């Protein structure tokens, strides 16, 4: 079935529909990963977005039970150059087409994704629709549409729930968490309690955690003021590790500013330098906002990591409190595991803090 991808700037791309046969609208973005499409589509950080995959063939190994990053994905659409006609992998359980139909996510194939990506890079991310027509009325509707801003509220859990174990007691604040974060904490035998995004500092402290994890999530960090207040209420009292949106919220809680990037970082080939050592890690990233480096109060915070290509802030550490954050995903999924050691550092920070507390 012939379908169209239309952009807010008036661009039209014709292709063939697959997945769910619905009209959809969202923010058009691109991901540069060569694989990992299942993890990407089910990552809640893509809430409200139409994801363009720059790699030309998507769907060739199907969908399996192990690579879900959430059960109910909330991205708005999938754009590919070519969708695989047949999936071939020993773990394959269904095709990408079948999966998108089951999750009610529209897709479009046959698109010149190189031209589309160049358009996004030159003009920035923008509103887009996948639909059956590309007339003037469709463009008028697209331009008039206001995209929702309550994205974290849409994807966060509404009730606290446990992931039990016998190790360190970790509270995970869910802004749109990936299952891979829970997997890494499970590997460290952590006793995890996942709480909603709007949980207060007092409620978290009542759980008597050894550490607090601030997860990834979608959208503008300034739209989550509840979390900023919560972080201000727990820092210094409990060790904190923030990832992606959690990193941005930690920065805002300490007086920094954030800004919307032109087209963001989405993929898992982003080189990040640890400033203190010069160590380079290739990292998995998915964010459209970043911390304004000039706004970082150097008397309170230390910039620990930077992206090599555009020098955006990729890591922060508090100078006085046991707290550090990174903009990228050390849990990978998909992507390289170069930075997975940061979970070990979080555990070591917790142990050092507890030892210091006992000595006092």
What residues are paired with 302 via a beta bridge?
A: 317
How far from 281 is each of 16, 35, 268, 269, 333, CA to CA, in Å? 38, 19, 11, 9, 15
Question: Cα angle vertex 41, ends 37, 46, to 5°?
Answer: 130
For 47, 54, 65, 205, 341, the CA distances from 51, given in Å and listed in that order, are 10, 10, 21, 38, 29
Please enumerate, as own/partner, the contacts of 199-203 that have beta carbons within 8 Å and a separation of 24 or more: 199/160, 199/173, 199/230, 200/226, 200/229, 200/230, 200/233, 201/229, 201/230, 201/231, 201/232, 201/233, 201/234, 202/233
Task: Identify which of 18, 21, 28 has the alpha carbon closest to the alpha carbon of residue 97.
Answer: 18
H runs (alpha helix) in 163-243: 179-187, 201-206, 225-234
Active site residue 244: yes
DSSP 3-state assignment of 325?
A: strand
- Residue in 43, 67, 174, 331 annotated catalytic: 331
In the residue annotation, 256 being an active-site residue is answered as: no
Tokens of 27: 């923010």
Please tell me which residue in 75, 244, 270, 287 is annotated as part of the active site.
244
User: Is the Cβ–Cβ distance between 247 and 329 less than 8 Å?
Assistant: no
Residue whose structure tokens are 């012939």: 2
Check if 190 is active-site.
Answer: no
CA distance 96 to 269: 23
HSE at residue 4, side-chain half, CA atoms within 13 A, is 12
Q: Looking at 247, 265, 287, 329, which residue is catalytic?
A: 329
Residue 244 contacts by C-beta under 8 Å, 6 or more apart in sequence? Answer: 45, 215, 216, 217, 285, 286, 287, 326, 327, 328, 329
Positions annotated as catalytic residues are: 244, 329, 331
């Amino acid at each position: 079935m012939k379908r169209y991808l239309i952009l807010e700037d008036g661009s039209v791309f014709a292709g063939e529909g697959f997945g769910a046969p619905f009209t959809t609208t969202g923010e058009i973005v691109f991901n540069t990963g060569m694989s990992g499409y299942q993890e990407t589509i089910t990552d809640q950080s893509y809430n409200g977005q139409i994801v363009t995959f720059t790699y030309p063939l998507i769907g060739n190994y199907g969908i399996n039970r192990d690579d879900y990053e959430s059960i109910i994905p909330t991205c708005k659409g999938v754009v590919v150059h070519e969708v695989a006609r047949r999936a071939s992998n020993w773990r394959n359980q269904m095709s990408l087409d079948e999966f998108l139909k089951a999750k009610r996510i529209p897709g479009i194939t046959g698109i010149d994704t190189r031209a589309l990506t160049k358009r996004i890079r030159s003009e920035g991310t923008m509103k887009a629709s996948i639909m059956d027509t590309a007339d003037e009325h469709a463009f008028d509707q697209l331009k008039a549409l206001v995209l929702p801003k309550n994205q974290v509220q849409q994807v966060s859990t509404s009730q606290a729930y446990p992931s039990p174990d016998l190790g360190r007691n970790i509270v995970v604040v869910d802004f749109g968490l990936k299952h891979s974060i829970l997997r890494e904490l499970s590997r460290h035998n952590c006793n995890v309690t996942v709480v909603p995004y709007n949980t207060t500092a007092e409620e978290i402290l009542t759980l008597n955690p050894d550490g607090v994890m601030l997860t990834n999530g979608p959208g503008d960090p300034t739209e989550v003021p509840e979390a900023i207040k919560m972080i201000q209420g727990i820092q210094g009292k409990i060790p904190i590790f923030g990832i992606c949106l959690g990193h941005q919220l930690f920065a805002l809680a300490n007086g920094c500013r954030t800004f919307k990037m032109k087209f963001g970082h989405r993929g898992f080939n982003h080189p990040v330098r640890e400033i203190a050592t010069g160590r380079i890690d290739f990292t998995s990233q998915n964010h459209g906002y970043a911390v304004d480096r000039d706004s970082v109060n150097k008397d309170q915070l230390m910039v620990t990591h930077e992206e090599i290509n555009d020098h955006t802030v990729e890591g922060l550490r508090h100078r006085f409190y046991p707290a550090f954050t990174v903009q990228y995903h050390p849990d990978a999924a998909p992507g390289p595991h170069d930075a997975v050691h940061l979970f070990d550092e979080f555990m070591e920070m917790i142990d050092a803090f507890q030892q210091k507390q006992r000595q006092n």
